[in-house]
């Protein structure tokens, strides 16, 4: 039987720096659901300000930390900081990442390495550190953002390096799900289609939204709230038997 959640629990969320991003929206959604939070951004002041805002608005403990998560030592220090002053860590939500709209034949080594490092290495290092705590406690949820691009080979905004990095994230989650399942940890990915965030090359105009929605069956693109609501379920106690999966949120743009 899966272990029960503790009465007081913490979710760590990476990539909370963007004002209109999925990570930031997820922080508010999970706080409203009663989660204490560990918030990580590249710049500590962004995470700390958000933590203060959430703590003032909700009766939860929120701790902010800054880190370049592609650096193993920095990732570990950020988790150490959060773990020292927050209730038991039960969930990790990997939202941090970068886009890459460069055509494949124009991709230089520096961009290739930057995208793979930011979108895969960073997820690996923070996940490995958190997973040690989760397995020690016998209960945990890990959710990482992928993208419909990993299944369609791009076709939205970012292209091949981004698609490859996100496909690797899905494989990483499946491997973790298999290895750590009997130690109480689930691991899943979410693959949104286009989402109205600044990661799509800036704020989307109504015309760009309409164009991106044209291939979907619902004539709509996702909002950060749509993704955050799915994350809220996947990290919940009720999602104990969902693991090794990729959940698609794209209005029927891509069907499996």
Segments in the chain forming alpha helices (H) = 22-32, 44-57, 72-85, 109-116, 122-137, 149-152, 160-180, 206-213, 224-234
Tokens standing for 45?
């002041």
162 is catalytic: yes
- Taking the C-alpha atoms of residue 91 and residue 255, their distance in angstroms, rounded to an integer, is 28
Tokens 């800036």 map to which residue?
Answer: 202
**In what side-by-side order are the strands of the sheet with 140-145?**
62-66, 36-41, 10-14, 89-94, 140-145, 185-192, 246-249
Say which of 158, 162, 168, 169 is annotated catalytic: 162
What's the pLDDT at 206? 65
- Taking the C-alpha atoms of residue 189 and residue 250, their distance in angstroms, rounded to an integer, is 14
* Closest-CA residue to 77 (of 17, 129, 13): 129
- Taking the C-alpha atoms of residue 83 and residue 89, their distance in angstroms, rounded to an integer, is 7
* 3-state SS class at 126: helix
What's the pLDDT at 156? 79
Residue range 72-104, pLDDT digits in tens: 999 999 999 999 999 999 999 999 999 999 999
What's the pLDDT at 255? 78
Helices 22-32 + 44-57 axis angle, to 10: 30
pLDDT in tens, the chain (256 residues): 567 999 999 999 999 999 989 999 999 999 999 999 999 999 999 999 999 999 999 999 999 999 999 999 999 999 999 999 999 999 999 999 999 999 999 999 999 999 999 999 999 999 999 999 999 999 999 999 999 999 998 877 889 999 999 999 999 999 999 999 999 999 999 999 888 776 555 555 666 555 555 567 777 778 899 999 999 999 999 999 999 999 999 888 877 7
pTM: 0.92
């Amino acid at each position: 039987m899966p272990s029960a959640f503790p009465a007081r629990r913490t979710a760590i969320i990476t990539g909370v720096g963007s004002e209109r991003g999925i990570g930031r929206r997820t922080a508010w959604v999970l706080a409203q659901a009663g989660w204490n939070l560990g918030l990580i951004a590249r710049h500590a002041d962004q995470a700390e300000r958000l933590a203060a805002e959430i703590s003032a608005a909700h009766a939860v403990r929120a701790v902010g930390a800054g880190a370049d998560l592609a650096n193993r030592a920095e990732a570990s220090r950020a988790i150490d900081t959060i773990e020292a002053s927050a209730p038991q860590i039960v969930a990790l939500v990997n939202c941090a990442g970068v886009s890459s709209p460069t055509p494949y034949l124009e991709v230089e080594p520096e961009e290739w390495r930057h995208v793979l490092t930011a979108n895969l290495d960073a997820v690996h290092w923070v996940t490995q550190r958190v997973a040690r705590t989760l397995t020690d406690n016998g209960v945990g949820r890990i959710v990482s953002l992928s993208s419909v691009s990993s299944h369609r080979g791009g076709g939205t905004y970012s292209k091949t390096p981004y698609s490859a990095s996100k496909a690797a994230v899905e494989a990483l989650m499946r491997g973790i799900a298999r290895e750590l399942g009997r130690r109480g940890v689930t691991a899943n990915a979410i693959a949104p289609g286009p989402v109205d965030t600044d990661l799509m090359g800036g704020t989307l105009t109504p015309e760009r939204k309409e164009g991106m929605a044209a291939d979907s069956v619902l004539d709509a693109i996702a909002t950060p709230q749509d993704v955050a609501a799915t994350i809220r379920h996947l990290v919940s106690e009720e999602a104990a038997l969902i693991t090794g999966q990729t959940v698609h949120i794209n209005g029927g743009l891509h069907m499996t």
